[in-house]
Amino acid sequence: MAPRVLFISPSFPVEMTYFTEGLAAVGAKVVGVGEHPKEALPERCKAALTNYVRVSSLFDEDRALKEIVAEVKAAGVSFDRVETLWEPTVLLAAKLREALGVPGLRVAQALPFRDKELMKRKLDAAGVRTPRHAACSDEASIRAAAERIGYPLCIKPIAGAGSADTHRVDDRADLERVLQLVRRVPTVSVEEFIEGREFTFDSICAGGRPLFYNIAWYRPKPLIARTVEWISPQVVALRNPDAPELAGGRAMGLKVLQALEFEAGFTHMEWFLKDDGEVVFGEIGARVGGARLIDQMNFVHDADLYRGWAEAVCYGRLSEPLNRRYNAAVVFKRAQGQGTIRRITGLGTYLARYGQHVACLDLLPVGAQRRNWLQTLISDGYAIVRHPDLQSCLTLADRFGTDVQLYAS
């Protein structure tokens, strides 16, 4: 019998449509859950769904839970899986599993993936090296934690994703500046600032064990990339995640999955490699990495991990051969100036010289409005380049960053 999957937010973020298609491709009957009319979904998403439940709001968890459970009971159907890959709906999915008697992460298991302080406390108990940390809900406790942890430090939302609203703090004066910026955040995590290169550990799990893992390298660290406008940030999915230099990060990733009792699906972890070789945990989400990271992983292997994820959560296996053939780097471009994109320079020359290594190209066209670079990781477009040799891949990425420019006015 075909597995029935309740999939929360099947079309947002945009790559969720491909996961919805992946579920349908492995034979699942997919019921989507969202707050928009079904008619507003992309055609490809609608075609992959067997049904759709509209709720008032995905952000009102208790109300959404009642509405979904009522719809399911009225329809007289049962589900084999409840899945989501969007950060804000991880807890809703856990509540639905408990209410519907479906296997997967329960609320107690899902909470550490959404609460950075709880996450780190659980990993501390498991012997994982985390930054010194404290959860704070007012200015007095933030100041006290800063003095106890020491400078430099970073302050971030306790339930945030990635580096959004994350601030480096170098001294007491800098702390007063940042306090003004985080006033609207109910609870923040105050953490030791870790100097070192930053990597990911991404996995697809089933039955509580990883069937696939990936390591990607942030160039530069996300906190720098999100605060310096002229940079063309890169994420490099590595062909050889089993390199000896990365052994500590791999071991940490596996230990974190075990400590947090992750059952099935995608995870996205970030970790640091210090100059002295020490590895330090950053954070983890029960979801796929954003900003086209899964597309990079697909280009590394010439595979379809949208479908691979679906097979893992539905059947507990990942049967597609995954041969690591390339390093794949995504380079995000930010236009110079504000307003409308007026011209793009260097692209023709770059493609003439390196086009055979460009796996994907998606830049805003001339005439389009420039995006707010502070609110989107994709910025004004991107390219994904790949090469079997890491240094050659880095050169391709660096040249795209320097040689191709967008100008707005």
pLDDT tens per residue across span 6-15? 999 999 999 9
**Gap between the Cα atoms of 248 and 271, Å rounded:** 10
204-259 tens-digit pLDDT:
999 999 999 999 999 998 888 888 899 999 999 999 999 999 999 999 999 999 99
When pLDDT is averaged across residues 304-320 and rounded to a whole number, the result is: 97
pLDDT digits (tens, 9 = 90+) for 30-49: 999 999 999 999 999 999 99
Separation CA 27–CA 29 (nearest Å): 7
**Which string of DSSP letters, residue by residue, matches 94-161?**
HHHHHHHT-SS--HHHHHHHH-HHHHHHHHHHTT-----EEEESSHHHHHHHHHHH-SSEEEEETT--
Confidence label for 160 from pLDDT (cuts 50, 70 and 90): low
0.85 cut: is pTM over it? yes
Instruction: Give the chain's domains with CATH numbers.
Output: 4-103 (3.40.50.20), 132-192 (3.30.1490.20), 195-325 (3.30.470.20), 327-409 (3.90.1170)
The strand ranges marked E within 274-374 are 279-285, 327-332, 341-345, 358-363
Q: Considering the chain, what percentage of its residues have pLDDT values greater than 70?
A: 99
pLDDT per residue as tens digits for the range 75-100: 999 999 999 999 999 999 999 999 99
Buried residues in 124-151 as b, exposed as e (16+ CB within 10 A):
eeeebebbbbbbbeeeeebbebbeebee
pLDDT (tens digit per residue) in 191-206 = 999 999 999 999 999 9
385: which strand partners?
329, 358
> What pLDDT score does 252 carry?
98
The phi, psi pair for 117, rounded to 5°, reads -70, -45
The continuous run of DSSP H or E covering 385 comes out as strand 381-387
